Structure 1
Amino acid sequence: MPAKKDPQTRLIDAAMDVAAAGRWHDVTMIDIAQSAGVDIGVAFDHFKSKADILRQFVRRIDRIVLADLDPADFNEPGHDRLIAVMMARFDALAPYRPALRSIVASGGDLGPADTLRAIKTHFGSMRWMLDASGFTTGGLHGSLRVAGMGTIYARCFKQWLEDETADFGPTMAALDRALSRGSEWDKRIGTGISRLSRVCGKIQKKCDRFAQRCRRADHTEQTSPSAENRSTAP
């Protein structure tokens, strides 16, 4: 007998089921709780809104993709590995395509605050996907890299939703092209940031030297005989 799913898992599954059956905008938390066979109070303990459910769904997909990584692939070129990771993400999402179409058609049914949290979740996922592919995501360059990956993924996701091929070949081809273009921009950004860092370093050194000269001049003025005479003058 299969193990009974926990309420959170049942609620996420139910949300995807009711989204696939109708307009996500019309779905309520009560609809989801009833479909999951979960008491509405228990549902409230786990999720405060449909947006909460969507964020946890995204995290579920993250876990599926990351758990399926093969350490033997870590030495592959970053471009190839990133394509493999992102296509694995699409494979994990495949069973939920009808639900995702409904959710996308309703814009996720998100308010302003939920939209900001959704963006944060989206970029968090992209950071993990890049990390899993061997790309660094720290600092300014890393943040720009995450933002670029988020844009690429969003575009390819829309194509994937309508991709009816068995292997999602057109989506993979579009992803390959977008990542190749992104790689060129990534190199330019990296070069630009390195140059900017060197210039900022030189400016900082000049500022430090100027500050040191000012401190020495101030110290000399304070300890000079004329300064002592001024301090003892009636």
Structure 2
Amino acid sequence: MARKPVSPEADKPAAKPDPRRAVVDALFRLAAAQGWDEIELPAIAREAGISLAELRGLFPSKFAILGGLGRILDDAVLAGSSDDLMEESYRERVFDLVMRRLDALAPYKAGLKALMPHLRRQPLALAALGRNSLNSWRYLLASAGIPTEDDLGSVRVRGATLLMARVLDTWLEDDEPELSRTMAKLDRELKTAGQIMARVEDVHRLTAPLRGLARSLCSGVRRTPRRERMRNEEGDDYAAAI
């Protein structure tokens, strides 16, 4: 009997599941069924199919696992492409980024909805997640060709982070398949953000001469090094004192 040719693909071992993603998925499955305070670390490990020691090596706490979701969302959005929108306005590009991020978040919606009341009572956790969001949006905006490192870059990043948070509340309550309420909310928030950003850019442009003058004045002042000032004040005794 003739031997069937073996496809090169058949020789490749199956891709090993990402354990970090397995842990994040496990936490959100548990969160959809029980309260946050009832979720114990051993239960997360069992749900993810790993040992408690392996879980400790991946994440130091439950809140760190929550932060791991942000990386999953970032990877999903950054794996896509915004090249076809590069000729569009910033508003259209941010609209696309937000909707793609929500699409990536959809599998975690039930768990996140159950967690939000608890998270709102945890200011330190919210602050940590907020820092993660700033880092995420710095990369997401950059992927769409929106400047993040110029004078107004931090304003754009913080604005996008706040916009996402405001739209997220609507999205969590929007059960329509086409997400019409979410897109309407996003459109309104983008309009408001555009108006605010236009005013910020006007102020930035009008104050440019003052900033330039301040920089030139500061660069023209030579500050005497502290060591040199001490020499001048102490004379020859300065060296002996050292």
Normalised by the length of structure 2, the TM-score is 0.79
SS in 1 for 2:148: coil
Map of 1:98 onto structure 2: 110
Which of these two proteins has the greater Rg computed from alpha carbons?
1
Question: Where does the alignment leave 5 or more consecutive residues of structure 2 unmatched?
Answer: 1-12, 223-242
1:69 paired with 2:81, answer: yes
Q: In structure 1, how many angstroms separate the alpha carbons of the residues matched to 2:30 and 2:113? A: 12
In the TM superposition, what is the alpha-carbon distance from 1:3 to its structure 2 partner?
3.7
CA, structure 1 residues 101+208, in 2 after alignment: closer, same or farther (shift >3 Å)?
closer
CA, structure 1 residues 83+204, in 2 after alignment: closer, same or farther (shift >3 Å)?
closer
Q: Please say if residues 97 and 140 of structure 2, whose CA atoms lie closer than 8 Å, have aligned partners that are also in contact.
A: yes
Q: In structure 2, how many angstroms separate the alpha carbons of the residues matched to 1:115 and 1:101? A: 15
2:197 to 186, 191, 194: 186
Percent of pairs identical after alignment?
Answer: 29
SS in 2 for 1:167: coil
SS in 1 for 2:178: coil
Q: In structure 2, how many angstroms separate the alpha carbons of the residues matched to 1:135 and 1:90? A: 20
Q: In structure 1, how many angstroms separate the alpha carbons of the residues matched to 2:177 and 2:14? A: 30
Map of 1:49 onto structure 2: 61
State the number of aligned residues. Answer: 210
The answer to which of 159-168 and 196-205 deviates more is 196-205
CA, structure 1 residues 97+74, in 2 after alignment: closer, same or farther (shift >3 Å)?
same
In the TM superposition, what is the alpha-carbon distance from 1:98 to its structure 2 partner?
0.5
Q: Please say if residues 82 and 93 of structure 2, whose CA atoms lie closer than 8 Å, have aligned partners that are also in contact.
A: no
Cα RMSD of the aligned pairs, angstroms, is: 2.2
The answer to which of 154-163 and 13-22 deviates more is 13-22
Q: Where has structure 1 moved over 3 Å in runs of 4 or more?
A: 1-4, 108-111, 203-209
Q: In structure 2, how many angstroms separate the alpha carbons of the residues matched to 1:32 and 1:108? A: 22
CA, structure 1 residues 206+92, in 2 after alignment: closer, same or farther (shift >3 Å)?
closer
1:164 paired with 2:180, answer: no
In the TM superposition, what is the alpha-carbon distance from 1:197 to its structure 2 partner?
2.9
Q: In structure 1, how many angstroms separate the alpha carbons of the residues matched to 2:120 and 2:51? A: 24
CA, structure 1 residues 76+24, in 2 after alignment: closer, same or farther (shift >3 Å)?
same
Equivalent residue letter for 2:20: Q
2:50 to 38, 57, 67: 38
CA, structure 1 residues 81+29, in 2 after alignment: closer, same or farther (shift >3 Å)?
same
Q: Please say if residues 19 and 99 of structure 1, whose CA atoms lie closer than 8 Å, have aligned partners that are also in contact.
A: yes
SS in 2 for 1:155: helix
Q: In structure 2, how many angstroms separate the alpha carbons of the residues matched to 1:189 and 1:87? A: 26
The answer to which of 155-164 and 76-85 deviates more is 76-85
Q: In structure 2, how many angstroms separate the alpha carbons of the residues matched to 1:73 and 1:200? A: 34
Q: Please say if residues 24 and 108 of structure 1, whose CA atoms lie closer than 8 Å, have aligned partners that are also in contact.
A: no
Offset from partner CA, 1:173-205 (integer Å, 9 cap, x none)? 111111111111111111212222321212444
In the TM superposition, what is the alpha-carbon distance from 1:50 to its structure 2 partner?
0.9
Question: Where does the alignment leave 5 or more consecutive residues of structure 1 unmatched?
Answer: 213-234
CA, structure 1 residues 162+2, in 2 after alignment: closer, same or farther (shift >3 Å)?
farther
1:129 paired with 2:140, answer: yes
